[in-house]
Amino acid sequence: MDHTRSHTSAVTTGAAGSRAADTHAADTHATDTRAAAAGTSQIGDVPVVADPDAGSVGLVKARHVTVARPPRALALEGGQSLGPITVAYETYGTLNERRDNAVLVSHALSGDAHVAGRHKPDDKRLGWWDMLIGPGKALDTERYFVICSNALGGCNGTTGPASIDPATGERFGTDFPIITIADMVNVQALLLDKLGIPKLLATIGGSMGGMKALQFAVAHPERAHAVIAIATAAQQPTKAIAFNEAGRQAIMADPEWHGGAYYGQKTPRRGLSVARMIGHITYLSDAAMREKFGRRLQDLHDYSFTFSADFEVESYLRHQGLAFTERFDANSYLYITRAMDYFDLARGKASLAEALRPAQARFLVMSFSSDGLHPPYQLKQIVSALRATHKHVSYYEVQSDFGHDSFLLERFKMEGVISAFLASSAATFTPLAASGAVAGGAV
């Protein structure tokens, strides 16, 4: 696990926002690697060249920027302040001259800034939403400038509990302040300032990413023309809090957790692994579980009559759990699940409709029929609240058996709707009125 990586060494400096944006474009199309990866097959007498990278953004790389430098540290919702904050992000496509084609993608609990393409030509792992992002895809990088940043509190380049606390020179651990979805979104806004983007064409995300998209719409209403909220909720539902709490307790029960001060030593792998197993189960529908695993045995003809992973589903979960510990920090898991559990757009407001009133965006809200974590009724609550305040809102319920994970899988059921909504949003985009409203530009 890369806990030793410095979150500050890779910070880019110097370029003004627009130039920085221009240079990103160079990263996003590596056509030479496409040709190298192309395979050849045959239909009848006709050789067919299948290009596995068709529609791909190609080779990309992560960038880093520093925001909220003291004395302008970020005031957190919980009352503390935090800064400087390093933000890891990637971009795809080109920011146009009018700067009106930027689409901000927000990731879910375990995601990161790497949302499309490959980091290396032989990378087997594509960005986590590659199916939707690239030339000709739903988020068409020939038209849109797509940005994705690692969330505050994360462990993939953005400041989080594994980062060095400048006050002590030690890793934060649980001295890291409790952060919220609102804090994450405020960091996104600071990143947009750095990139010189006064107003987004759209902010889009699924699950926790959807929470961020909704929060952005109310916290920075003048900066989002459109919001796409997928497989999410305006407040974390009780059952999701419950499963997250079980996961947190599993991590904290691991003696290797050491109250969060495990960096440089053994990590609480077993606790984090159990937390991930719990999470994984909630992402799959009953039907998807049956379909994918049923009661099939793993390399066995009969029960072993032991506690081994006889069933494929056991083997799968154990593998997923352990693999997760190689790429994710246990403390980040605690902080980010806490942020999700605290998320309640209507907190301190008379109603959800009241909470959404400041939003100026047009909304697309999308649910999945088999989503057990955020069932369609939770998305419909958002739609009802938006309609109550006469917002522009489209609602789309996707029929899918994949459960909560549908938003990561159902490319063909999602892309037409998203693509059309983005196109109509682009056609109605109005620039931010006051040019001085955004500090923007200089890194």
C-alpha span between 211 and 229 (Å, rounded): 7
Among 114, 225, 248, 404, binds its own copies (CB under 8 A): 248
Of how many residues is the chain composed? 443
Q: Which stretch binds its own copies (CB under 8 A): 64-72, 247-255, 386-394, 418-426?
A: 247-255
Q: Which stretch binds its own copies (CB under 8 A): 27-35, 214-222, 229-237, 422-430?
A: 229-237
- Residues β-bridged to residue 423: none
| Other CB atoms within 10 A of residue 346 CB | 16
* Cβ atoms 241, 143 nearer than 8 A: no
Helix (H) or strand (E) holding 367: strand 362-368
* Number of chain positions touching its own copies (CB under 8 A): 54
Quick one: 139 or 179, whose CB is closer to its own copies?
Answer: 179
Residues 76-95 interacting with its own copies (rule: CB under 8 A): 78-79
Residues with Cβ within 8 Å of 237's Cβ and at least 6 positions away in sequence, in order, are 373, 374, 378
300 binds its own copies, rule: CB under 8 A: no
Residues 369-388 interacting with its own copies (rule: CB under 8 A): 372, 375
Nearest partner of 403 among 292, 317, 266, judged by Cα:
292
C-alpha span between 338 and 227 (Å, rounded): 24
Q: Phi and psi dihedrals of 181, rounded to 5?
A: -60, -35
Among 66, 91, 236, 325, binds its own copies (CB under 8 A): 236
Among 1, 11, 278, 409, binds its own copies (CB under 8 A): 278
161 binds its own copies, rule: CB under 8 A: no
Q: Phi and psi dihedrals of 48, rounded to 5?
A: -110, 120
Among 156, 273, 325, 367, binds its own copies (CB under 8 A): 273
Query: Taking the complex as a whole, how short is the minimal distance between the CB of residue 341 and its own copies, in angstroms?
Result: 7
Among 124, 295, 301, 390, binds its own copies (CB under 8 A): 295
**Pattern of binders to its own copies over 173-212, x per CB under 8 A?**
-x--xx----------------------------------
CA dihedral 162, 168, 170, 174 (to 10 degrees): -50
17 binds its own copies, rule: CB under 8 A: no
| Other CB atoms within 10 A of residue 272 CB | 27
Query: Taking the complex as a whole, how short is the minimal distance between the CB of residue 316 and its own copies, in angstroms?
Result: 9
306 binds its own copies, rule: CB under 8 A: yes
